[in-house]
Structure 1
Amino acid sequence: MPADAPTILATSGGIGPGTRTRWEFTALTRHAVDLSGVAGTPRVCFLATAGGDDSAYLVNFYTAAQAAGFSPSHLALFPMPNVAEPAELLLDQDVIFVGGGSVAGLLAPWRMHGVDAAMHAAWRAGVVLTGVSAGSLCWHAGGTTDSFGPRLRAVTDGLGFLPYANGVHHDSEPQRRPLFQRLIADGTLPGGYATDDGAGLLYRDTELVEALSEEPGRYAYRVDPGGDGTATEERLDTRLLR
């Protein structure tokens, strides 16, 4: 059963260190699975494109997914797609989870292989889209990225399913907050939303409906142009998931 409306849960969290596995899925990802409305075993597909389809990344996903009781699959693009019809694989999921890494290195091959259009079709069909870091930025108009080196830069060619800027790791990486604010203030990016580590943004269709957190004291924020080359930042009411 698909989600009631096109749904994206964009996060700076959702995975953490496991006890018997390298990873485990934390409250934000578990909530994304709940949003899919699946009564039985949820089908969760992983894209590690932003991490270069690293094999260790894929193993970590599969072991965590199996421990969580998910039915896992993955779409790899390097050195070639691992399935003949990526769109069919994505449409056959309940949840799609996109991992972190290089958002620039994610967007280019997705567009080359038509994954961008396939993702849009899956989203409109009710497959829940979620992910962390690059897997949060990608759904938005743009944000800040270390894809090009340790000095953060703007990325302005996100998929644009959501017409906002997105800031990730807002509380944990010192360059993130001031650059995100500056890029919105000068018009490089539209107004948008940012998340501390452990926080997420729940969108139904293209509207933000709730800010969520899996750890106390972690929040989401609205950032808008403030006029005269400034930006305003408002901390949102952020519900702690239990």
Structure 2
Amino acid sequence: MTAETPTILATSGGVVSGVRSHWSVGPLTHHAVELAGVTGRAPRVCFVGTASGDASSLTAGFYDMAIEAGFAPSHLRLFTMPNVPDIREHLLAQDVVWVFGGSVAGLLAMWELHGVGEAMREAWQAGVVLTGVSAGSLCWHVGGTTDSFGPDLRPITNGLGFLPYSNGVHYDSEDQRRPLYHRLIADQTLPAGYATDDGVGLLYRGTEMVEAIAERDRAGAYWVERGADGAAVETALDVTRLPG
């Protein structure tokens, strides 16, 4: 079973420190899997590590996490060649696609080369739940702020645009994120959008943001838009707290 409507959970979290392994699946990612509505079998979850150069250690860590969580794991690797014969077919066979963090600029470039963006769009429209952290949150939006080009953050404006908003990630943990996001919205480099502190996700049904969800106490989510005076205006959103 897949989600009844196209569903994205875009996050600045979803992974927590592990007990049996270095990392474990966090409450946000568990929630994304629950959104797929799978019953009677293990949910099929595909890991996409393009933004981190398909690092083998990261992929191995995913399998440890997935097995611990009771998922039926797979992965999509693009370096040095795709590991599956048909990317579209593989993504459409999943319940959830989990896109990990790293360089969103690199991710978008590689996805363009291999037609992954269009395959992701088709999977999303078919009800496969799309989720991810950091680059795996930014990619679904029009753009946002990124360290893909160096330690001084820069805008990224060529996101997939499934969601017609900008996105700010790691809003409370990296000093440059909030002021740059405000400036880019004020000068209209980016459209209005949603930002998340670490440990917070944005649930979209279709293209509507319907709920901000957190796996950390006191972490927030925000709507940022250009005000009538040309300055950015930030509004804190209500946040649902996940247990555990």
TM-score, normalised with respect to structure 1: 0.99
Q: 1:61 aligns to what SS in structure 2?
A: helix
How far 1:151 moved relative to its partner?
0.2
Give matches, 1:152-231, under 5 Å.
152-231=153-232
**Partner deviation per Cα, 1:165-201 (whole Å, 9 max, x = no partner):** 0000000000000000100000000000000000010
2:146 corresponds in structure 1 to 145
How far 1:45 moved relative to its partner?
0.1
Q: CA RMSD in A?
A: 0.6
Q: Which runs of 5+ in 1 are unaligned?
A: none
Q: 1:111 aligns to what SS in structure 2?
A: helix
Between the aligned partners of 1:228 and 1:183, the Cα distance in structure 2 is 15
Runs of 4+ in 1 over 3 A off after TM superposition: none
Between the aligned partners of 1:2 and 1:20, the Cα distance in structure 2 is 30
**Partner deviation per Cα, 1:76-99 (whole Å, 9 max, x = no partner):** 000010111011000000000000
1:48 corresponds in structure 2 to 49
Between the aligned partners of 1:228 and 1:187, the Cα distance in structure 2 is 13
Conserved? CA contact 1:8–1:130, under 8 Å? yes
1:69 corresponds in structure 2 to 70
Conserved? CA contact 1:45–1:72, under 8 Å? yes
Conserved? CA contact 1:185–1:227, under 8 Å? no
How far 1:229 moved relative to its partner?
3.1
Q: Which runs of 5+ in 2 are unaligned?
A: none
1:92 corresponds in structure 2 to 93
Between the aligned partners of 1:174 and 1:113, the Cα distance in structure 2 is 34
Q: 1:62 aligns to what SS in structure 2?
A: helix
Between the aligned partners of 1:181 and 1:62, the Cα distance in structure 2 is 38
Between the aligned partners of 1:184 and 1:21, the Cα distance in structure 2 is 40
1:29 corresponds in structure 2 to 29
**Partner deviation per Cα, 1:84-137 (whole Å, 9 max, x = no partner):** 101100000000000000000000010110000000000000000000000000
- Asked if 1:240 corresponds to 2:230, the answer is no
Q: Percent identity?
A: 64
- Asked if 1:135 corresponds to 2:136, the answer is yes
Partner AA of 1:30 in structure 2: H
1:114 corresponds in structure 2 to 115
How far 1:17 moved relative to its partner?
1.3
